[in-house]
Structures are given as C-alpha cells and as structure tokens.
Structure 1
C-alpha cells in the first residue's frame, strides 16, 4: 500500500493495514523530517482504501521509536518562535489524521517508545506493549515539553496527576506501571506481541470494545471539575518547582500547559502545547541540554569505536584497598568484570571489602539488587595480600597512596609479575603520568585512569596518556571504564590533567575574592544559584582541604604564571594550617554534624569569619552577583580554552562533558565552553578586560580573541 525509506504499509488478512516503522538508513526508528513526511503520505494511502477495517502500527526494529531526531533541533530552533509553534502544530495534524481514521487502530509497542515514539502510539486508539518494552516522554530532560500531543492526549488517558508525574519527571516507564494507569491496554510476551495485537484489533473491529468512546475521551476536555483542577495543578506546581529548581523551567511549564488546556478540546489544546513548546525551544536551557544530549551520544560513539581496538578485559586487579580501592572493586565486579584487590595490610583489605559490601547492601535495601545477586558480586572481588593470581589479569589499576616514590616502586614491582601486554593504570589525581612511566619497562602499556570520589556516584573517568602510551592501551582502558558504567574522557598528560587543571583557576578566582573581602557564605549562595550543586567553600570541604592544598601546590609548580599560590596567604592556607580539613575531620569552612541518616550535615561555624579575617587585609566588602560569577567563571573558561588549544583534550564536547561529569558543572549551562557561547565571546573579552588587574588568570588566549573577531562558536548552530 505504501513503500518509503522509514515507513512501509502492508495490507494483511481481514482487511487490516499494517503501518510498520522500519528505517532503511539507520539502526533505529526516529522521527526526523523524512519520517514525518512519510507518515503523512502513508496515512493518506491508508485512508484512500475504503476496504480497510483497522490499523495496526508496528516496528521492524528492536525498538519501536526512540523519539525525535535531536540533530534536527539545532537548525529548527533557530527559527522564530512563531514558526516553531506553527511547525509543531502542523506536525500534529498528521497525528490527528491517524487519530481520526474511520476505523479502529492499535499500536504494538515492541521496544523503547520515547518522546515522539510514545506520542505516535497515543494517537492510536489502543496500545499493546511487550513485557520487555518501555515508554515515556523525556522531553523535559532536553529543556522542552512534548510537541506532538503528549501533554494533550496523555492526561486525558491516565489523569492529570499521573500525566504530570510522567511528563515533568521525564522517566521511562515499565509495562506494569503503564498498565496500572491505563497508558497501555495490555502487556504480552515479546514473541506474542504481533499476534496478540492483531487479535485485540479484530475484537475491536468486531465491536467488543468502543473505540469511538476512547477516541472521544482523548479529544475532549479533561475530566476535572474546577475545584479538583485548581487543587491538583497548584499542588503540582509547588512540588515540581521545588524539585526541578528555578533553572529548569520545562517541568513547571508542563503543569501550566496541561492546566491551561484542561478545559479545551483537541485543537485548542494542541495550540497551547505548540506555543509552549516553541517558547521553551528558544531558551538557553534547552540549547544547553540538547547539546549535552548530543555530546553524550558523541562520547558513546567514541567509546564504541575504542572497543574495536581494545583487548578483552576478563580479569582486573586493583592495587591498594581502602575506600577508593573498594569502590573501584565494587564498580568493576557489579558490572561484570571480576577483580582482585591487593593490599599489604589485612586492615586495608577489610576496609575495601567493607566499602564494597556497604554499597551492595545499599543496592539491596533500595531493591535494585537481590541479596543473592549481591552475594555473587561480592564473590567476584578477591582480597589478597600477595601477587599469586596476578599472572592472569588483563588490567591493573594502581590506587596506592598519592606519593610518586611509592607509586613508582609498586608499579615496577607489579609489571614484573603480570603477563606481557597487561595494561597498568595509575589512579592518580595529580602525579604526572609521564613521570610515573619512567619506572616502567614497557611504558607503552602504562597510562592514568583517574576515578573521581566517590567512585560509585561520579560518572567520569579521565584516561590520561603519556608520550609512549600505545593506542591499544588507551582503547582497552576506555573500554574497561565503559564496561564499568563510566564515561571515559581521553586526556593528554599535564599537571592536573583536565578537570583539576580547570577547577583550580575557579578556586583561584574564589580565593582572591575572599582576600578582597567577600563573604564566603554569600559567595556559596550565589554560585549555587548560578547552578553549581555546592558553592566553592562547601566544595573545598567535600574535596578535602588537605587534598586541595596538595593539588594546588602541584598546579602552582606546573603553571606558575597564573596558579602561583604563594602570591598571598589564602583562606585555604588558613584552613590547612588549622588542620580544618573539611568533611573528613568534621570542620573546614563549615562544621559537619551527622544527620539521622548517618550522613554529614553542613552547619555554619561561627569561628570561620574570625579565621578568614586574618587573610582579608582590607576587611569585608559586598560584591554584586555578576561580579562574583565573573571572577570565578572567567578563569575556568580561559583555562578550558587553554586545554583545547594545547590539545590536552580533543574537542569542546569532551572538555565540557569532563566538567559536567567530573565536578558537577551546571548541566543546564552545558559546560564552560557552551556557557562562553551563550554569554558571547565579545562579552567574555570585555569582562576579562575589566579584571585584567587581577593577573594572568583573567588573560584571554589569542584563540579567544580570534573567535570574537570572526564571530565563531565552540558549538556552531
């Protein structure tokens, strides 16, 4: 009946049309411009055949439809708001045509059906889902809302409260949850999906179900009286605003759109959705979050490519137990790679195994893992005091004390024991990989593998190569990190590597601001409002004052022109001298008490201002929000550019994702370089000139000046 590149329509027995999404040019189905055009043509072809009695919508892929083609959003969202709204509304006419067919329709959801994919299924009268599939509307995670009728049809099917939870939260839903709220009409085994869907469709054709009543339900006003509506929407707005925060407008917009459209029929409701979709599409938040999604896809592709060059890792080992070693061992074993954990002391092994056991117990408590599975994972971690089984390992992660002499000794020792070609990686946060490589007989097999603490929570791993590291060693380490569920960023060796090198100029700007009289609590609040999960003082406490002090010394030696930490006595020096090391010993810039859940709770310490007064020669001073943000963010932006210019990292994508995944850079701002694009390079240079007297940290690079002159962006639209 119809043959396209994305959609094919076949006439089945019983005068049923099967509309099959089967993209011939991609591994998955997605809604791009071609697919939308073909859907319109296919629907017309179906409508033209007066013998058709029912429509079955299927997929020829393992997934149903993964959603919109996000790569098309960039050019689309450059259009004026009115044109974006018009595009969305006209696109909805195609889905309306499916909904208005003169016979019943059923969608067989065989796999992932997200965004436009799920909205496609909502346009049909009924949905039968495979027990292995999942559905959802994740658009708020991109800073937008559904644009193909999701905010209109879903509330009328499952109720406003359920729809708000689904759409504002953006999470994929399992079949059982979907059936419970009537988002789907049946859950069946995967191998029975098509036959069960056809059987159900035939029963509708035979008059056993009133598809017209179901259709009318989706096209009419929302079934809520005014009082119920007012209470439901006002409660939802407050709850979601508190959960999402003011920097993420899309979840709250979902509530407003559903509320505004509640008393409208389909056409008017879709106009409200299209207008809101277009408005959000023009925000910097959507721009950043869409870039973040695309960046993540880019990193996944790079990791997949690395996997083709990698040697298989069937057995791993970690040298050094304790909290870090235990965390690495847990992460490896829980994701399927057995690991040996070696230390020289039983006490350290006990701590490492205790850490792994604690993390597994937490998974069991949250019902993420069964006790049997937790026991199996724990059995895949073998604690040992000797190198007896190291002859069979494929990769060794060294995680001993942060001391170059000790590390070199341990690395040289283990290299003699492992089989030829075994990859040896150092989990160092600051010691030069080039320097450590001098201890190796085969430096081509050696590199850095920097995990961030706590290992189980932080998604980033920096894979740091030295001058003699082989491509195979890099690829194998990236593949192992990926298998552990981490995002690996490949970085050229330099003091501080990528993330710490960029973070410490931010700290440098902050310490100078405190010296000049800023209130540390006020600065923390401003930077948390800016979007950081914690302000710089709190972050220093979490990192550890002693750790920061040590890394600061390393970076001062590496970049004395701009990171010299001896130019003035700083707030960090004062804390370090007072042995106030932060969370680890209960007091730093803040004090830490244990909350009822056993976690450290931050409280203001009245003695901190007295200590800081000793390094504020001109006393206290108020600073504007803009000045605080600029004095901290400009050094970070400039240092990120330097890393790019020096090929420490290959692309703006990897630089920005390293900051987001490594130190919690505000995702809705997209990373330092995406933020620079948003502000505009000319404005960045003007701000740098304003603070030029503060030194080299605020001196823009030649590449930045060139970009401003040429009007270029790190992320071209």
Structure 2
C-alpha cells in the first residue's frame, strides 16, 4: 500500500500500474471538503515518490458527491474571506493540475454516478472509461448547473465549445451514454469490464500504441478554433440564453459562458487564473445564495418528511368521488401506488366517459401498453357506495360547490365501515374545520388543494382542521407525495396559504393597472425580475371566476388588508366580457395551441377602470408595489403558524413562480436585511395595511434571530 487514509488509498494494482481510490469512510458519498483535499495532496505526493509507476487509474467506490453535500462545501466557500477563498480555490486547481501533469498516462474509471467535484477530477485524466447509463457531469439544480472547479477550462477543450455549452445549460442530469456520444467518455463498456478496459487503455498508452501526450496537449493548449468559429459558437449560446425564459435570469450561467469566451484562446494555466476570478464572482452572486437556499429548503423539507413516514398508515385501496380530468389523473396516480381504485359514477354513460378520460390521460403520459393494461385493471367505476365502504383512502374532487361537496362527504362517511378510512376533500376555498363539524369522525377528515395550473412541481396544500388527527396528516402527506406531488402542510384558514399570499400581490397589480400602467409592461417587468409568470398571466392561469371567488372570501375574512371592490375591478370587467382566463382560452391574453397571444381588445374592456391622469412609475417602484404585499402576507402566515417554517414558505412560493434567483420571500427579506426591509415597507406605508411590516419582523430585529429560526425545533 502506497497510501492509506480516511478517504483515499493508493496501491499498486499490477506491475507498473497504480490505483488512486476515493472512498470516504466518514460520509455516505465523496465529499471534497478541506480534509479530503489535504489527503488528496498527500496521496499525489506519495505517487510522485514511486519510481516504478508507469500509469495510474482513478476509481470511486462511492456514488457522486451529492448536491446537498456539494452545497455545504459551497456554503463554506461563501463564509471564507477573500484571501482564504483564493488560497483554497488555487489549491484545488493545483491538485487537478497535478493529476494532469503526472509523467505517465492516467485513466478515470467510472463505475458509479460521478457528478460535481468527482466529475471535475475525471476531466483532469487523459482518458475516461465508464459503465453504461450512469449519471455524469455538473450538478443540475433548479437554477441551472452548479459550477465546478476547472470545468470551464477543461470541458470545452475535450468536447468543443458547443457541446460544453449544452452541458452547462442542461436542465436534467446527463448520463455516460450521452457523454460517450460527445467524446467525453473514451470507452463505454459493461460494468463488469470497466477496470479491464481501463487497464487495457493504460497498457496501450504505456507501450506507445496510444499517443497520450498528444491527448494531454489539447487540454494544456488554447482551443483550436478561428475567430469566426468562436464568434458563431458564443453568439448562438447567448441567443439561446436570451430566448429561453428559464435561462434569461441565470446570472451563474451567463458568467460561466463569459468565462468560456475569455479562456478558450488561452493556455491552461492562464485560463485557470481567469476561471478562478469568475468562480469567485459566481460565489458572491445573490443568485448563488438563492441556489444554496433552494437546496437548503429541499433538504429541510426532506428531513421533516421523515416524521410523517414514521406515523403513516399504509394505503392499499382508494376511492375517487368525481369524474372530471383531475379525478382521472388522481385515479391513475393512485393505481400506480395502490392495489385498487374505485371511481364513483352515476350511470353507464358516465362510467364510459371517465374510463375514456383515463385511457387518454395514460396515452399522454406515454406509459407502456403493458403498464397501461395493468393500471386499467386496477381502476373500476362503481354506481353505489357499497364497494367504497371498506377502502383506506377517499379523495372527493367534485365541483367547488360547498353544499353539494358537504352533502357528498357526509353521505360517503355514513357508508364507510372501516373506522380508519381517511376522507380528503379537493378544495380551494371552503373551510376544512367547518366541514369537519358536520361529520361523525372529524379527526379523519383533511383537505387537499391541488395547484397544478400554477405550480411547476405539482404543489399540493394539505390543509388540516382543528380536529384533524396527526396520523391523518402523516398518512395524507405521505400518500400525496407518492402521487408524484409536492405536499405542503397548511393550517385551515381563509385562502389557505398560496391564495392568501397571492391575493395582495394580484390586488396590487390591479391597482397599478387602474393607475394607468400597462398590464403587459407589468408582466414583462416581473418576468425580467425572475418571476415565472407575470401577474396578468398568473390571473389567467388561476382563472378569472376562481380569483373573484377567492377575492370575496378574503375580503370578508381580512377586511383591513384585503378589501376588494369586485363590482368595479378590472378582473370583474374581464369576467363580464366572458374572458375567463385559460378556462375559455381568453383573459388578459388569448391562448391558442398553448401559445399566449396579445389581444388589443382587452384595453377597450379595461378603459373604464383606468384613471384619466395616468401614473408613470419606474421599474423598481412597480416591483416594490407588488412584492411587499406578498412578502408581508407570507410573514403573517408564518407568524400565525399557518405554515410552519420559512423553508416551507420559500419552497411553496418558488414552486408557483416566485423568482428562483431570489430564493423565496423569506430569503429575499433576509438577504436585503430585515431592518432594511422594514425601512422599505415604511416608505410605502401610506399605501395601506398590506405595506406595513408584520410584528414578527420587528421581534426578530430585537432578538437578532433569522426568519429561518422561526418554527424550527
């Protein structure tokens, strides 16, 4: 054994060939923190002292460095001062250079998923051999790929500018098969043959059959391309970024592309110095902080979810009340997870219609014919309540009419003979607590508010009432997640969480339009600031009738903050003109074949509500007008324990389009500074209660605590 440490070992594998092996004993994955970097340096020094080494293979026993662990390392980076960070990053570059400059050929062996820091190390080797269908590459996040040391310099030299840009802009994980097509993997073999293939390549390189020195030269020298080739490649990349909505606000990606542009015509060492400066700049971005916080939010959510899984009751069979498209999708997703699904129908015609909806939905989901057949066998329409009487879980998703919903829930509960059966109601504005008071077993009743229309990850509010049992909550949360949804626990109150915090935002939007600000201009401003949808588009997605129902409910529940003059509002004018949003393909915009189209007729409809003397507000003021009411209401929900923690606030709202580059309302306030945010609120306080900072923020300033300390146990 040449070196034996906690995370790295070096040994002679056969005559002339050594193996440098990464295997962390402390962590479940390879985590490249300060300790492992020190050991990495020692291992390389040991290799240099061995006179009989003619070739080296790098192997990884553990899976890729997980996103969560990589984020923890980046958080350490952001806490270091400028000199410490420079020293640390320079050391990382020196270590990868050390591998690349060894006086003999090197091969990286990929037998497990290799992403992040592991991936960067494989790029320093002369060759890469891999098993098929493994994840490889940069770590992909909701904000794009996470930058990794030396990748900007090495990746384009190995696979060319355009392919490197494709890897940087990837929105999903890449695999070794696509890497092989791009020329990043030199040999792709069966998992049993990976080591043998690597040894074979090394033997050929050692004996001069492969020109490994020439292979290395292309990474050490400037990229061979003409100025016109360089111009075209980067012009295309910038055009892609500027035209793709999800990439437009990605400052990390823009700096990565800029780093590539400045380094491709330089030798490696010069290029790495520039890359290091860009890397440090990326680490200082507020977007990088948002990326780190987004992973923190998800990590916290995952940890919290463990407590639900511990208390959950297994669901073997389910029943659906309702025959709409939402019911069809729920039936399919339930069938994937359970043994049987019943759908309550009134007659044979309705049964045929719902089964046809289910077949169509299955076709659109591109499920295999065999799997489709299996799922259809598990789903059965039923005309009576008798068959439903023994199911474990009932989901009511009838039309949003309070009286008919309550009647249907009471009727199904009276037929159920299994006392542990949970009834979940698909609701948007009806009080769970009030419905529960009409039931015999209120502890087993809970609400589900599906937000598929406005949520990028199928967010669901799981709404609990005053008497809902903890076991009911746990089972419903776990079951909803198994349906490939993202459940967020919310305490019953008017508007729940999402609609309650969106209403002040959308109400402020209406106010701006009545002041004479063009609604399309507002949409453009908010989308340029990072929102997935502008407020007019969001209203169309929610639906004009649904918004008016929510507005009425919230105005009655919170009159001091959510007063709403429905008779003269601009949304009411659209409703009167039968522009209902996506429901009938026209609202603020028209919709044809999923495309949003501007419609000049809307201005004529809205004209009567717009002031004669029109305001001219700057971009920052428009953003403040909209963001402050939403952020304040989010904090009030946290204050009232409607939602438990800032992590869940941010996760929920980024799911429906809040700017990812700001991390969520709580992170937005925290980054601005709570004291500074309160001062901002004070400058707009004359606009009403929605603009006055919540008491919780004042208390946090006094205590010196963070919003992310609230509700955390």
User: Could you say whether these structures have the same fold, taking a TM-score greater than 0.5 normalized by the shorter chain as the test?
Assistant: yes
Report the 3-state secondary structure (helix = DSSP H, G, I; strand = E; otherwise coil) of the residue aligned with 2:598.
strand
User: Residues 286 and 555 from structure 1, CA distance in 2 versus in 1: closer, same or farther, beyond 3 angstroms?
Assistant: same
Report the 3-state secondary structure (helix = DSSP H, G, I; strand = E; otherwise coil) of the residue aligned with 1:55.
strand
1:60 aligned partner: 61
1:386 aligned partner: 384
- 2:455–2:657 CA contact under 8 A, matched in 1: no
Which deviates further from its counterpart, 693-702 or 70-79?
70-79
Matched, 1:545 2:506: no
- 2:459–2:488 CA contact under 8 A, matched in 1: yes
Q: C-alpha offsets along residues 543-599 of structure 1, whole Å, 9 cap, x if unaligned?
A: 111100111122222222211224983222333344432221243233x242xxx33
- The whole-number CA distance in structure 2 between the counterparts of 1:455 and 1:642 is 22
Please report how far the alpha carbon of residue 507 of structure 1 lies from its aligned counterpart in structure 2 after TM superposition. 1.5
Aligned length: 705
User: Residues 515 and 456 from structure 1, CA distance in 2 versus in 1: closer, same or farther, beyond 3 angstroms?
Assistant: closer
- The whole-number CA distance in structure 1 between the counterparts of 2:170 and 2:444 is 44
1:668 aligned partner: 661
- The whole-number CA distance in structure 2 between the counterparts of 1:523 and 1:133 is 44
1:603 aligned partner: 598
Q: C-alpha offsets along residues 342-387 of structure 1, whole Å, 9 cap, x if unaligned?
A: 33355655554454444433343xxxx4444444444444333334
- 1:411–1:439 CA contact under 8 A, matched in 2: no
Q: C-alpha offsets along residues 257-284 of structure 1, whole Å, 9 cap, x if unaligned?
A: 2221112121111112111111111111
- The whole-number CA distance in structure 2 between the counterparts of 1:81 and 1:245 is 29
Q: Map 1:594-633 to 2 at 5 A.
A: 594=592, 598-599=593-594, 601-606=596-601, 608-616=602-610, 619-633=613-627
Matched, 1:186 2:180: no
- The whole-number CA distance in structure 2 between the counterparts of 1:348 and 1:627 is 52
- The whole-number CA distance in structure 2 between the counterparts of 1:351 and 1:271 is 65
Report the 3-state secondary structure (helix = DSSP H, G, I; strand = E; otherwise coil) of the residue aligned with 2:130.
strand
1:343 aligned partner: 345
Please report how far the alpha carbon of residue 165 of structure 1 lies from its aligned counterpart in structure 2 after TM superposition. 0.9
2:404 aligned partner: 406
Q: C-alpha offsets along residues 628-650 of structure 1, whole Å, 9 cap, x if unaligned?
A: 11111111111111111111112
Q: Map 1:464-479 to 2 at 5 A.
A: 464-479=463-478
Matched, 1:423 2:422: yes
User: Residues 143 and 15 from structure 1, CA distance in 2 versus in 1: closer, same or farther, beyond 3 angstroms?
Assistant: same
2:275 aligned partner: 273
- 1:328–1:455 CA contact under 8 A, matched in 2: no
- 1:78–1:282 CA contact under 8 A, matched in 2: no
**5+ residue gaps, structure 1:** none
- The whole-number CA distance in structure 1 between the counterparts of 2:118 and 2:170 is 17
1:255 aligned partner: 257
The one of 677, 688, 692 equivalent to 2:681 is 688
Which deviates further from its counterpart, 14-23 or 400-409?
14-23
1:10 aligned partner: 11
TM-score by length of 2: 0.92
2:499 aligned partner: 500
Please report how far the alpha carbon of residue 314 of structure 1 lies from its aligned counterpart in structure 2 after TM superposition. 3.2
- The whole-number CA distance in structure 1 between the counterparts of 2:514 and 2:701 is 32
User: Residues 9 and 648 from structure 1, CA distance in 2 versus in 1: closer, same or farther, beyond 3 angstroms?
Assistant: farther
- After the TM superposition, which segments of 4 or more aligned residues of structure 1 sit over 6 Å from their partners? none
Matched, 1:174 2:175: yes
Q: Map 1:225-236 to 2 at 5 A.
A: 225-236=226-237
- The whole-number CA distance in structure 2 between the counterparts of 1:353 and 1:629 is 47
The one of 300, 314, 317 equivalent to 2:316 is 314
- The whole-number CA distance in structure 1 between the counterparts of 2:469 and 2:200 is 58
- The whole-number CA distance in structure 1 between the counterparts of 2:634 and 2:287 is 21
- 2:540–2:581 CA contact under 8 A, matched in 1: yes
User: Residues 602 and 439 from structure 1, CA distance in 2 versus in 1: closer, same or farther, beyond 3 angstroms?
Assistant: farther
Please report how far the alpha carbon of residue 318 of structure 1 lies from its aligned counterpart in structure 2 after TM superposition. 2.1
Please report how far the alpha carbon of residue 94 of structure 1 lies from its aligned counterpart in structure 2 after TM superposition. 0.8
- 2:442–2:468 CA contact under 8 A, matched in 1: yes
User: Residues 205 and 459 from structure 1, CA distance in 2 versus in 1: closer, same or farther, beyond 3 angstroms?
Assistant: farther
2:325 aligned partner: 323
- The whole-number CA distance in structure 1 between the counterparts of 2:350 and 2:626 is 39
Which deviates further from its counterpart, 108-117 or 682-691?
682-691
User: Residues 324 and 163 from structure 1, CA distance in 2 versus in 1: closer, same or farther, beyond 3 angstroms?
Assistant: same
The one of 636, 643, 648 equivalent to 1:649 is 643
Report the 3-state secondary structure (helix = DSSP H, G, I; strand = E; otherwise coil) of the residue aligned with 1:169.
coil
User: Residues 173 and 246 from structure 1, CA distance in 2 versus in 1: closer, same or farther, beyond 3 angstroms?
Assistant: closer
User: Residues 355 and 114 from structure 1, CA distance in 2 versus in 1: closer, same or farther, beyond 3 angstroms?
Assistant: farther
Matched, 1:77 2:70: no
User: Residues 617 and 312 from structure 1, CA distance in 2 versus in 1: closer, same or farther, beyond 3 angstroms?
Assistant: same
2:486 aligned partner: 487
- 1:340–1:382 CA contact under 8 A, matched in 2: yes
Q: C-alpha offsets along residues 308-349 of structure 1, whole Å, 9 cap, x if unaligned?
A: 322222333322121221232234445677533333355655
- 1:409–1:439 CA contact under 8 A, matched in 2: no
- 1:327–1:454 CA contact under 8 A, matched in 2: no
- The whole-number CA distance in structure 1 between the counterparts of 2:561 and 2:596 is 35
- 2:448–2:462 CA contact under 8 A, matched in 1: yes
User: Residues 132 and 231 from structure 1, CA distance in 2 versus in 1: closer, same or farther, beyond 3 angstroms?
Assistant: closer
- The whole-number CA distance in structure 1 between the counterparts of 2:387 and 2:47 is 66
Q: C-alpha offsets along residues 604-634 of structure 1, whole Å, 9 cap, x if unaligned?
A: 232x334333334555322222221111111
Please report how far the alpha carbon of residue 399 of structure 1 lies from its aligned counterpart in structure 2 after TM superposition. 0.8
User: Residues 142 and 530 from structure 1, CA distance in 2 versus in 1: closer, same or farther, beyond 3 angstroms?
Assistant: closer
Q: C-alpha offsets along residues 650-695 of structure 1, whole Å, 9 cap, x if unaligned?
A: 211101111111x211111111111112333333223322322222
Q: C-alpha offsets along residues 17-59 of structure 1, whole Å, 9 cap, x if unaligned?
A: 3322222222222322222222222222222232333322222
Which deviates further from its counterpart, 249-258 or 196-205?
196-205
- The whole-number CA distance in structure 2 between the counterparts of 1:242 and 1:142 is 16
RMSD of aligned residue pairs (Cα, Å):
2.7
- 1:66–1:113 CA contact under 8 A, matched in 2: no
1:640 aligned partner: 634
- 1:331–1:455 CA contact under 8 A, matched in 2: no
Matched, 1:705 2:667: no
1:46 aligned partner: 47
Q: C-alpha offsets along residues 387-422 of structure 1, whole Å, 9 cap, x if unaligned?
A: 454355332221112123222222223333263312
- 2:144–2:170 CA contact under 8 A, matched in 1: no
- The whole-number CA distance in structure 2 between the counterparts of 1:538 and 1:283 is 29
Please report how far the alpha carbon of residue 92 of structure 1 lies from its aligned counterpart in structure 2 after TM superposition. 1.1
- 1:66–1:117 CA contact under 8 A, matched in 2: no
- The whole-number CA distance in structure 2 between the counterparts of 1:239 and 1:112 is 29
Please report how far the alpha carbon of residue 199 of structure 1 lies from its aligned counterpart in structure 2 after TM superposition. 4.3
- The whole-number CA distance in structure 1 between the counterparts of 2:130 and 2:334 is 34
User: Residues 165 and 473 from structure 1, CA distance in 2 versus in 1: closer, same or farther, beyond 3 angstroms?
Assistant: same
The one of 393, 396, 405 equivalent to 2:394 is 396
**5+ residue gaps, structure 2:** none
